[in-house]
Structure 1
Amino acid sequence: MKKTLKAALCAALACAMLAGCGSAPSSTAPASGSGSTGGSASTASDAPEYERATVRVAYMPNMGSGSSLITGIEMGYFDEVGLDVELTQFQGGPAEIAAMASGDIDIAQIGHGAHALCIEGQAKIFALDLLGVSDEVLANTERGIETVADLKGKTIASTAGTSAEIVLDLVLGTAGLTTDDVTVVEMDANGCVSAMISGQIDACATWAPSTTTIKEQMGDKCVSLGSNGDFVDTVTFPGSFVATEKYASEHEDILVRFTQALMKAQDYRAANIEQVCEWLAKEIEADPETILATKDSGEWLTGEFLVGALADGTIEQYYDSQQQVFVDSGRIPEKVPVSDYVLFDVMQKAADAYTAAKS
């Protein structure tokens, strides 16, 4: 069965105007929580009994957004905690958050850029998924572009409100440029691919696997001018799971169970990344080799790491550092307490359940 959100698109685009919407969501078949390949639900007599629930989850068709979800489904981890996960694809985090606001989606996995909307109160973060390193600024050398300075006066495609937009700002800054020195046009990740290959634009800022496809198709005509990997010493680019404040307050137990399963999925993902690439490629109907080429597009955090990072304040530091990027770029006027929009209580309950299940 295919799930479509045509009706939600209008609301999604309207709600996300301030942050810049992603493109229209495309649908994928709801994925059974039982999984088709991996582990089965716990059968121990002392295993917790859960009230069955269905969770509608938005994600983007790439490893950074979909890898832990696909792993949790394939390995049966969501099924173990009584959750059936239905997936719907989007092309950008702001549109995902807008779809949650309209009630068409329960949970979303977002990249760095859309976190600004959480800081502004549009959603609550309840789980840290990974640190992204897949965003990149690519340029067409046939347009006389060899360095960042050569971008001055050029036309660059990007998706507003995403991590790629932030990386574009950072990369331009290395040459003393800002977006006032270039012409930025709005395009989703798919649009960036076709526009770059066809020569409609001079450069683009987007993420894997779109960057992989562009470089493969353009060959020597494409040059990489920078990525978020160039700024990891000073900036973190978290990918997180979010929900609206209303959903979080009414369904905290579901968020805790979802995060507990997610932490197991993160452990498996980190140890079996190539297998996860195969699963994701099948889910999004992409070329397996293209997805495999993006296996290093994230710092794949584990459940064990997250337990410690929550306890010693590392997770809070990640989000605090992220806020500073938004302040420096003018995206938000000033920093706010991280606890205003990050549900540390949900993270802690999930960490406790994860740890207990392992002991």
Structure 2
Amino acid sequence: MKKFLSVILSGVLAASMLAGCGGSGASSAPASSAAPAPAPASSAAASSEAPAAEPAETFEEVKLRVAYMPNMGSASLLVTARDKGFFEKMGITVDLVEFQGGPAEISAMASGDIDIAQIGHGAHALCAEGEAMIFEIDCTSLADAVMGNKEKGVNSIADLKGKKVATTAGTSAEIILNLALASEGLSQSDLEIVEMDANGMVSAMISGNIDACATWSPGTMTITTAMGDKVVTLATNNDYLDQATFPSSMITTKKYADENRDILVRFTRALQMAMDYRAANIDEIAKLVAKQCMVDEQTMLDCVGEGNWLTGEFVASAVKEGTIKSYYENQQKVFIDGGRLTEAVDVNNYVLFDVMEEAAEANAKAA
């Protein structure tokens, strides 16, 4: 009798040990012929020790047309989210559409040709004026520069007076030009301003059809490579970090934001996940951006230092602490000081901080 009880107890103990490892006594090992382990007891132990995993998130598939500009600051986060599967994880397929500037992107959104766009610093003034809504910060830019042709007598900012200078109105590069001119007591009225897109400025500078330009990478890299010692960089974002932050952002129309909040949150979740990957693998991403923009890899690799590549973790804390809000408030001050805006606007009117925060919280919960 004692031997019989001993066999039973040994069988029960063995079944309990298997259940504690998440397995089932009936399927993980053959039952003892002398004393089979009771299946109900094993199942109960398994359920108490190893609860079922949370079901994977599922989303209704959506396709979006998204505008970008062919440079690291504008394209890198979108390319990362697409090529590394973060958009797919959120049930999103993107069709990336290339533009040469933020104002043109906003016009395309207004006409319904584009759903979402990535803009640089300058186009944010249009958001403050009510033409678009910001729903996610991307990075802070260091990519703009004012460049002069030495052979045209341009060696300093002061030398720009009376010269033919190309820029693109409403862009971050124009803001740098204005700040540079102001440092010498000048304004655009002292120059011969020529309106050009980024590609046109590269050709015009190299051919000598203009004396100077205010543009951004990778055009700045192409100009430097082609002109060598003939070109001088007169000013960059770095020269004015004490006066302003130059954020780049993801935007959409107010109508789209009102009607598709869930999609914006999902899109933002993908972007915040992509931020972490981009920051940790910036050289790899530069090569992917080069492929997207159809330029050589070295050109984009030379541009990796032209942005502060924010992380999802930073955004999650910075939006709660008000740091990101201060970026947009400081940016608006630049527009007012430069005459681009006439008065201050509450940034809450055009920045959807709650979308950034909701996305960060959802990602933390899913981690």
Q: TM class, shorter-chain normalised?
A: 0.7 to 0.9
Question: Which secondary structure does the structure 2 equivalent of 1:317 belong to?
Answer: helix
Question: Which secondary structure does the structure 2 equivalent of 1:336 belong to?
Answer: coil
Match of 1:133 among 142, 153, 156: 142
Q: Which runs of 5+ in 1 are unaligned?
A: 1-43
Question: After superposition, what is the alpha-carbon deviation per residue over 1:274-320, rounded to whole angstroms, capped at 9, x for unaligned?
Answer: 00000011111111111111011110000000011101100000000
- Counterpart position of 2:235: 226
Q: CA deviation at 1:185?
A: 0.5
Match of 2:271 among 262, 269, 294: 262
Question: Which secondary structure does the structure 2 equivalent of 1:234 belong to?
Answer: coil
Question: After superposition, what is the alpha-carbon deviation per residue over 1:240-298, rounded to whole angstroms, capped at 9, x for unaligned?
Answer: 00000000001000100000010111111111000000001111111111111101111
- Counterpart position of 1:174: 183
Q: CA deviation at 1:357?
A: 2.5
Equivalent position amino acid for 1:164 in 2 = A
Question: After superposition, what is the alpha-carbon deviation per residue over 1:190-228, rounded to whole angstroms, capped at 9, x for unaligned?
Answer: 000000000000000000000000011000000000011
- Counterpart position of 1:36: none
Q: Name the structure with the higher helix share.
A: 2
- For residues 58 and 290 of structure 1, the distance between their equivalents in structure 2, rounded to whole angstroms, comes to 21
Match of 2:131 among 109, 122, 138: 122
- Counterpart position of 1:342: 351
Q: Does 1:103 align with 2:107?
A: no
- For residues 158 and 215 of structure 2, the distance between their equivalents in structure 1, rounded to whole angstroms, comes to 19
- For residues 284 and 353 of structure 1, the distance between their equivalents in structure 2, rounded to whole angstroms, comes to 32
CA RMSD of aligned residues (A): 0.9
Q: Does 1:79 align with 2:88?
A: yes
Question: Which secondary structure does the structure 2 equivalent of 1:137 belong to?
Answer: strand
Q: CA deviation at 1:344?
A: 1.3
- For residues 328 and 352 of structure 2, the distance between their equivalents in structure 1, rounded to whole angstroms, comes to 12
Q: CA deviation at 1:55?
A: 1.1
Question: After superposition, what is the alpha-carbon deviation per residue over 1:153-206, rounded to whole angstroms, capped at 9, x for unaligned?
Answer: 101000011001111000111111111111111001100000000000000000
Q: Does 1:197 align with 2:214?
A: no
Q: Does 1:354 align with 2:363?
A: yes
Match of 2:220 among 211, 214, 220: 211
- Counterpart position of 2:17: none
Equivalent position amino acid for 2:237 in 1 = N
Q: How many residues align?
A: 315
Question: Which secondary structure does the structure 2 equivalent of 1:108 belong to?
Answer: strand
Name the stretch that deviates more: 293-302 or 348-357: 348-357
Question: After superposition, what is the alpha-carbon deviation per residue over 1:105-150, rounded to whole angstroms, capped at 9, x for unaligned?
Answer: 0000000000000000000000000000100000000111111111
- For residues 235 and 217 of structure 1, the distance between their equivalents in structure 2, rounded to whole angstroms, comes to 31
- For residues 130 and 93 of structure 1, the distance between their equivalents in structure 2, rounded to whole angstroms, comes to 15
Aligned-residue identity in percent: 57
Equivalent position amino acid for 1:117 in 2 = L
Runs of 4+ in 1 over 2 A off after TM superposition: none
- Counterpart position of 1:244: 253
- For residues 64 and 242 of structure 1, the distance between their equivalents in structure 2, rounded to whole angstroms, comes to 15
Q: Does 1:154 align with 2:163?
A: yes
- For residues 122 and 148 of structure 1, the distance between their equivalents in structure 2, rounded to whole angstroms, comes to 33
- For residues 278 and 150 of structure 1, the distance between their equivalents in structure 2, rounded to whole angstroms, comes to 37
Q: Does 1:46 align with 2:55?
A: yes
- Counterpart position of 2:18: none
> TM-score, with normalisation over the residues of structure 1?
0.87
* Superposition map of 1:321-336 within 5 A: 321-336=330-345
Equivalent position amino acid for 1:120 in 2 = E
Equivalent position amino acid for 2:296 in 1 = D
Q: CA deviation at 1:45?
A: 5.9
- For residues 196 and 340 of structure 2, the distance between their equivalents in structure 1, rounded to whole angstroms, comes to 19
- Counterpart position of 1:304: 313
Question: After superposition, what is the alpha-carbon deviation per residue over 1:37-92, rounded to whole angstroms, capped at 9, x for unaligned?
Answer: xxxxxxx8622110110111000010000000000111100000100011000000
